[in-house]
Amino acid sequence: MTAKPEDPLSHLSGYLLRRASSAALAGLNGRLEPLGLRHADVAMLMLIESRAGVTQSEAGRVLDIQRANMVAFVARLESRDLIRRRQVDGRSQALELTAAGRMLLKRARRVVSEHEAALLSKVPERLRPMVLPVLTALWQGG
């Protein structure tokens, strides 16, 4: 017996994915606003931290951001003195966090943790251990 939904979309996992994702994104962006960051900024900072010296193109591949769109993105973070570019060879730029970037990331990570906790708190306790496995499975190249 499933409850009858108000709309014919609530039984579609794709629709639920989209709505849950956009709601979560909006929530996270709201929490990050005081820090002057957006969710993508934090993803980038976290990636650079865990892979110091990652290349601009590499980062784009991991985060699924087009090379062309990375330019303005990286430039913005650099202009705020959150990251720094170091020439690796004639064409590649290694990305690193600045001290200010590390400090801001520290605060951002707390915000992300709060956000994660808020997300998981919506899920009944018995389903909570399934959240990461389910989402990980759903995310697989298409």
Partner DNA sequence: TATTGTTATACTCTATAACTATA
Partner DNA sequence: TATAGTTATAGAGTATAACAATA
The contact set with DNA (CB under 7 A) reads: 22, 26, 38-40, 55-58, 64-71, 74-75, 89-93
d(CA 23, CA 106): 24
Residue 17: which H helix or E strand, with range?
helix 13-32
Q: Which of DNA, a copy of itself, none lies near 134, with the C-beta cut-off 5 to 8 A by kind?
A: a copy of itself
Toward a copy of itself, which CB reaches closer, 4 or 91?
Answer: 4
Q: In what order do the strands lie in the sheet with 93-97?
A: 54-55, 93-97, 83-87
Q: Which of a copy of itself, DNA, none lies near 58, with the C-beta cut-off 5 to 8 A by kind?
A: DNA
Cβ(112)–Cβ(28) below 8 Å: yes
Q: Which two tokens stand for residue 65?
A: 């951001």
Pair type for strands 54-55 and 83-87: unpaired
d(CA 15, CA 28): 20
Sole binder of a copy of itself in the list 19, 67, 76, 86 (CB under 8 A): 19
Toward DNA, which CB reaches closer, 32 or 105?
Answer: 32
Instruction: Write out the binding residues for a copy of itself, residues 64-93 only, by CB under 8 A.
Output: 64
Query: Which of the stretches 26-34, 65-73, 77-85, 87-95 binds a copy of itself when contact is defined by CB under 8 A?
Result: 26-34
d(CA 89, CA 11): 51
Q: What does the binding site for a copy of itself look like in residue numbers (CB under 8 A)?
A: 6-28, 39, 43, 46-47, 49-51, 62, 64, 112, 115-116, 118-120, 122-124, 127, 130-142
